Structure 1
Amino acid sequence: MSQIGIRNLAATVTTSTSYKVWDAALSLWHSNVSSVKAATKTSYIASPIPHRRGCTRRPDCSRTHIQNHKEELKLEIQNSRQVVYAGVDPTATSLHVGHLLPLLCLLHFHIRGHQIIPLIGGATGLIGDPSGRSTERPLSEESVVEHNVHSLTTAIQRFFSRATEYARDRLQPSQTPLLQPDVRNNLEWTKDMGLLEFLRKIGIHSRINSMMGRESVRARLESQQGISFTEFTYQLLQSYDFLNLHETAGCNIQIGGSDQWGNIVAGIDLINRVNAASNSGGRNAKGFGIVTPLLTTATGEKFGKSAGNAVSLDETITNVFDFYQFFLRTPDADATRYLKMFTLLPMSRIDETFHMSKQRPEKRIAQRLLASEVTELVHGRDAVQRAEIATAILFDNDCKTIRAEEAVKALRGLPVFHAWDKADLFGIPLAKMATRLQITSSNSAARQLISAKGLYLNNQPVTDPNQTLSIRDLIDGRIVVLRVGKYKQAVVALSTHGVCTHGI
């Protein structure tokens, strides 16, 4: 699935083949700032998502079993404060960029006064979600899951704190007081539930034919390995999450990636069956699902990987510079699409950036804006300044205009940064220096690079294989940059007790 869709499966379900599926466009992404400002004065949510953002899929109403209940959902959102949740299983200690779309969906609800519940799967994380996997997920130790839950709780709270500040700088404040995100752990309502209680409360309403028809289950049943009963019941636990939050917190909307579609359907189905069994009479509570795309790049690669590793939202795992660079290196074909999805910029600004980028692609205007916006969203404004300074000193031809103090502050702690004494820095051939800094494999390799104009000093090619470093080469009397190719570089700063000034 390539676009965000909303599916409301609140209708009575009779068999596994007779679901009434509705696609609708939820009011999440706004078309321009003025429309948001007008909407926040009169309602909880802004105008519907414009399809030109690439964030929604137009409902297919050509078949009789497809209906468009967009207006029904829109009215519910506009007329009452909603409770919305999205789940994250604790398979790691940190969030990564693949979580951004569901988090941004929650953010759009949050900044318009709705109650959001980021749900961490302390229980489901012990089971393992089979969605999108061809093999059994190894069971995690309870202590590992508990540690990850604690880390993710802190990470989610930090994300919404910074993201809310980011939103305040770009949108008119909501007329509705903002509620604190209610971070929860689904172990709270499952740890004391016994098997018999689970079977009587949840199992009685769950139909095997529907469970077998879920894509995540069907794909595994067709594989050689098959699927264990443990993973088979994962959808029941996620369904119970939705039911529990529906009953205890009034939650009617679940957000998840498109691979979670089957589990979201199962939760809405469970809500319907429990409501019907309880003879709720006039009760009209309905469940809705918001499905976000599992993003890929224009070349078909999975979004969110850098050199095979997930790009973390935790600065201690993926430093701010690398995070900024990940978005700065976005291909031209993806940059505008990501600006629409990952930022709160008005469409007019994005369209303007798109046209400027087409006229001067070498300036990477869209990528620079994207990197700046997403870095501020996740890490704050100060982090953007540090990342931009680090980028300038490592890649810009006019890096000599940068102040050494700012550069050291921006680069300190990065693998490319080194502090040397005078004796280690001056008089040494640049070829040998590059080898000591491990950006070349040997002195001879460095000399060959110099002959081919492939070694750069302060982003200018070195032409003399015997050149040594002098005080005149230092940027602002303290730092020097050596680079091989585009992305292999090292920055050396004189240790503070050996700082030089020009003219010494």
Structure 2
Amino acid sequence: MNIIDELEWRDAINQQTDAEGLRELTNEKAVSLYCGVDPTGDSMHIGHLIPFMVLKRFQLAGHRPVILIGGATGTIGDPSGRQSERSLQTLDEIQANVDALSAQLNKLFITEGDNQIRMVNNYDWTHKINVIEFLRDYGKNFSINTMLAKDVVASRLDSGISFTEFSYQILQSLDYLHLYQNEDVQLQIGGSDQWGNITSGLDLIRKKEGAEAKAFGLTIPLMLKADGTKFGKSAGGSIWLDPNKTTPFEFYQFWANTDDRDVVKYLKYFTFLSKERIDELAEKVQSEPHKREAQKTLAEEMTTFVHGEEMLEQAKRITAALFSGDIKSLTAEEIEQGFKEMPTFEATKEPKNIIDWLVDLGIIKSKRQAREDITNGAISMNGERITDLEFEVNDSQAIGGRFIIIRKGKKNYSLVKMH
């Protein structure tokens, strides 16, 4: 299957500058292509993954992808999708983000072999250009009228846009020209909000290299959830690839909780499963939705891809323990992951009667209610039901010497940190 056919089946193409020409080119030879990310933070989130998964598919089809880290463009700020100016970071902050993103992308995408994904930083060629060269050699090729008509700029005219962010599309165009001339790159891919920047780059290439220059652009659709909200967010905020920002358990749970209406789309976008396997899972969504096999498969594939097999197994252990109530099977580290978003209390290691302990911490409001809940068997500590009103809590019961988990009823968990 031609790579373009595969992307079409996966509903991963929004716009192409020359669909017929790109299909012809990808049939003829191994194509060099690129996708970029600006170092505005020290981690990518799952929304950033969308174009890079397409880049990876090109690699698996035998093409030669390039990942561009925007060490230069990151100092400017991409106005795409924003209605206000981005706060400028120091060069040291940007370099720290470049290092962090490079390590993250390297772990996920860089492989050995003839068609390995290469990584470049646009600061390497941009910082050598002085302001006169920039204006004469590049700025002269851009019409203000055309730049104003681009959606990325037009959407900002009412709220205002600085010359700095206005010039972003010139810098990104310069990137495409440089890669076309020096890395034989003939295709740029990006999210749908990058269409204006991509077509500006193609215009610059043709002005510099001639109207017959073979260069192409392809964008990926904006991903929305079935309820119309933006993909990649949870109640706690963005789903990050950095395990220190979003734990592997939280990452796993995000995918496992995917709506039935979205899960097949996500399987197509984010996994490398075959069409046959995805069709099989799609059928299961219709015939056996209660088993959530498609969601479990999606969660397993994505957690393995981003965090590895060991972290997947850990996430599954935490999930199983929460479902069964077998809290004692978890390590302190797993407790920290699994209960990160649950109500948290702090207690001293001083021994105390269970009733006084629960009320003093604020887990239960009154001693009468505490006695009633314990007598009725509604209170569990670390997975074991407590029915003795004289039970004494002490630090020996803390998992890893650090945590006690209280469950009231079936679903109300509280994390108690012992110190």
Regarding TM over 0.5, the answer is: yes
Which TM-score band (shorter chain)? 0.7 to 0.9
Q: Is the counterpart of residue 255 in structure 1 residue 189 in structure 2?
A: yes
Q: Pick the aligned partner of 2:225 from 297, 315, 320.
A: 297
Distance (Å, rounded) in 2 between the aligned partners of 1:457 and 1:214: 60
Instruction: Measure the CA separation in 2 of the matches of 1:220 and 1:105.
Output: 29
Q: Deviations over 1:319-375 (max 9, x none)?
A: 101111111121222112111111111222222223323333333222211111111
Q: Which residue of 2 aligns with 1:482?
A: 406
Q: Does 1:208 align with 2:144?
A: yes
SS in 2 for 1:375: helix
Selected match of 1:133 from 82, 89, 93: 82
CA shift in 2, pair 1:54/1:459, >3 Å? farther
Which residue pairs with 1:85 in the alignment? 34
Between the aligned partners of 2:178 and 2:368, the Cα distance in structure 1 is 64
Alpha carbons of 1:255 and 1:469: their partners in 2 closer, same or farther (altered >3 Å)? farther
Contact 1:450 1:465 in 2 (8 A): no
Q: 1:108-166: CA deviations, max 9, x gaps? A: 122233222111111111111111111111222222111111111111101115xx69x
Structure 1 residue aligned with 2:296: 368
Report SS of the residue matched to 2:82. Answer: coil
> Does residue 320 in structure 1 map to residue 248 in structure 2?
yes
Match of 2:345 in 1: none
The count of corresponding residues between Structure 1 and Structure 2 is 409
Shift of 1:240: 0.4
Q: Which residue of 1 aligns with 2:179?
A: 245
Amino acid paired to 2:354: P
SS in 2 for 1:84: strand
Query: Considering only aligned residues, what root-mean-square deviation do their CA atoms show, in Å?
Result: 3.9
The letter for the 2-side match of 1:411 is E
SS in 2 for 1:387: helix
- One-letter amino acid matched to 1:368: K
Aligned to 1:408: 331
Partner of 1:180: 116
Task: Name the structure 1 match of 2:257.
Answer: 329
Within-5 A mapping of 1:97-496: 97-161=46-110, 177-221=113-157, 223=158, 225-276=159-210, 284-394=212-322, 396-397=323-324, 400=326, 404=329, 407-408=330-331, 411=334, 413-414=336-337, 416=339, 428-429=353-354, 432=357, 436=361, 440=363, 442=365, 447=370, 450=373, 457=380, 466=389, 468=391, 482-483=406-407, 489=413
Q: Distance in 1 between matches of 2:182 and 2:238?
A: 35
Q: Tell me: CA distance 1:391–1:212, structure 2 relative to 1, closer, same or farther (3 Å).
A: same
Q: CA deviation at 1:308?
A: 4.6
**C-alpha distance in 1 between matches for 2:194 and 2:368:** 51
Instruction: Give ranges in structure 2 of 5+ residues lacking alignment.
Output: 343-347
CA positional deviation for 1:466? 4.5
- Whichever residue aligns with residue 233 of structure 1, its letter is S
Partner secondary structure for residue 66 of structure 2: strand
AA matched with 1:274: K
Sequence identity percentage: 37
1:55 aligns with 2:4: no
8 Å contact 2:77–2:86 — kept in the other structure? yes
Q: Distance in 2 between matches of 1:150 and 1:365?
A: 38
Provide the TM-score with structure 2 as the length reference. 0.84
| Secondary structure, aligned partner of 2:182 | helix
1:318, distance to aligned residue in structure 2 (A): 1.1
SS state at 1:290 partner: strand
Maintained 8 Å contact 1:431/1:465: no
Question: In 2, Cα distance between the equivalents of 1:240 and 1:445?
Answer: 72
Query: Deviation of residue 70 (structure 1)?
Result: 3.5
**Secondary structure of residue in 2 paired with 1:49:** helix
TM-score using structure 1 length: 0.71
Counterpart residue number, 1:15: none
